[in-house]
A and B are shown apart, each in its own frame.
Chain A
């Protein structure tokens, strides 16, 4: 084989590898488990795969030749797949060399359209919440795996699973909304919800433009945050709709960025009228916009949430 000076530069001599990173064993190959967040086409037959991994955090790797039908691991690197993989460290992008499937959640999720749209919103949120590459985010990873498993099992309405994931992702990131008492003064008689304040607020602390959701909606948010699925499943559609609006607005305010998938999330549950975006086709009812009065402000104090990275079902 011809010696390649460029390749030698990319890899670098063993002595120069930064200690403490995934390469500190002196080998540029490393193994991790991860969830495929998104894929982008690259060149003729390659793909850039973005993964959230257990030990390394967010990783972007090139999967060579996976768009060809003869690819040995193309099918394993679809979004929603929970995989065990081996990567080779590169200068800007790592190269994925081997992949084994741990849980192919994609098949069950894609078989149901509302589950698919909710799932893509989960992946996009996980991608946005883990800003830096190769910064370990174990709790976010565990939360995502649990959320996808719950979604794939289909035991709960997809939109409830999505809202639970949003609330717990915010809790993991340190932005859990205050729901039991006033986010500003700690008073117990709090009825209004203000994103500005970081959750529910009492009459004295209530800023202009705060929403006044039903008490059942706040109870639903608490149930979703705590993993009380019996209470969440028993909630009424109108409270679910209100809860989704508030949670989506709260999430996007903290992310300082819109979640593109949210626009396409289907709100559909047995016996409930479909909420339709203006001008949408009669067969494509959806919209997942902010609730009334859910305007921006600054983050508030975090409500202690019981073990938010464990997605109890």
Chain B
């Protein structure tokens, strides 16, 4: 146990995800030894992120203004919407530089066992976006786990009457891996999603 303020700092750091008591203690002593200007900059960044960052009113992504950078960008294709679970999924897809459409962040996935149903996600907002008829394709990029698949199934059924092209991200073998080490579920999916090689 340390003096009051130091222990307070350790306790607060220990609440962060992935930070245990030992790591919290190490970070606290690093901050104590650090230059005061560096610590002030960190404190300012923490306060600023809570004050300025909000959720985009169109897509639900994190944004510094009313609309996020992607929704404001006129060069992005408004006819294609990629549906993801979390804002960090937007960053992952943006890193590929393959997708030039827009996004919709649901804020999670349907998980009845955790008490999360369709009403708890931003599905109503998605339906409002689709209602104007401008969108022609909906890409379902929810996680390739059970909750993500269930959410994709639910959305596909929901938008079916709108006559949109609904696609799901492919899943299968990771690039750079060996076939013999793939589990049967992943390998089965790879077979399902095989494509024609037109050479």
Residues of A within 8 A of B (CB): 38, 43-44, 69-70, 72-76, 78-80, 101, 104, 106-107, 110-113, 116-117, 120-121, 123-124, 260-261, 263-265, 280-281, 283-284, 286
CA–CA, A270 and B77, complex, Å = 39
For window 85-141 of chain B, which residues contact chain A by CB distance below 8 Å?
110-115, 117-119, 123-124, 127
- The distance from the CB of A161 to the nearest CB of chain B, in whole angstroms, is 16
Q: Are B113 and A120 closer than 8 Å at their CB atoms?
A: yes
User: Chain B interface residue count: which class?
Assistant: 20 to 34
CA–CA, A92 and B75, complex, Å = 54
Partner of B183, one of A72, A263, A280, A281: A72
Beyond A116-B150, A281-B118, is A76–B112 a contact (Cβ under 8 Å)? no
- The distance from the CB of A176 to the nearest CB of chain B, in whole angstroms, is 25
Q: Are A110 and B174 closer than 8 Å at their CB atoms?
A: no
Beyond A120-B113, A123-B113, A280-B119, is A113–B154 a contact (Cβ under 8 Å)? yes
Q: Are A43 and B18 closer than 8 Å at their CB atoms?
A: yes
Question: B112, B153, B154: which has the most chain A beta carbons within 10 Å?
Answer: B112
Partner of B112, one of A72, A107, A112, A117: A117
- The distance from the CB of B176 to the nearest CB of chain A, in whole angstroms, is 9
Q: Are B149 and A110 closer than 8 Å at their CB atoms?
A: yes
How many A-B contacts if CB must be within 8 Å? 78
Q: Are B112 and A260 closer than 8 Å at their CB atoms?
A: yes
For B174, what are the chain A residues with a Cβ–Cβ distance below 8 Å?
A: 69-70
Closest Cβ neighbor of A79 among chain B residues:
B146
- The distance from the CB of A260 to the nearest CB of chain B, in whole angstroms, is 4
Q: Are A101 and B115 closer than 8 Å at their CB atoms?
A: no
Q: Are B113 and A260 closer than 8 Å at their CB atoms?
A: yes
Whether a CB of chain A sits under 8 angstroms from the CB of B184 is yes
Beyond A43-B18, A70-B177, A260-B115, is A110–B153 a contact (Cβ under 8 Å)? yes
Q: Are B117 and A110 closer than 8 Å at their CB atoms?
A: no
CA–CA, A123 and B181, complex, Å = 30
Q: Are B117 and A111 closer than 8 Å at their CB atoms?
A: no
For B184, what are the chain A residues with a Cβ–Cβ distance below 8 Å?
A: 76, 101, 104
Of all A-B residue pairs in the complex, the 4 with the closest CB atoms, nearest first, are A261-B112, A75-B185, A264-B112, A264-B117
Partner of A104, one of B112, B124, B177, B185: B185
Whether a CB of chain A sits under 8 angstroms from the CB of B186 is yes
Beyond A75-B186, A104-B185, A281-B118, is A110–B150 a contact (Cβ under 8 Å)? yes
Beyond A101-B185, A110-B146, is A44–B18 a contact (Cβ under 8 Å)? yes
Partner of A80, one of B123, B146, B158, B177: B146
6 contacts between A and B (CB under 8 A): A44-B18, A120-B113, A123-B113, A124-B112, A264-B118, A265-B112
Known: A69-B174, A78-B146. 10 other contacts (CB 8 A): A73-B183, A78-B185, A104-B185, A106-B149, A116-B153, A124-B112, A260-B114, A260-B115, A261-B112, A284-B118
Closest Cβ neighbor of A111 among chain B residues:
B153
For B181, what are the chain A residues with a Cβ–Cβ distance below 8 Å?
A: 72
CA–CA, A260 and B110, complex, Å = 13
Closest Cβ neighbor of B152 among chain A residues:
A110
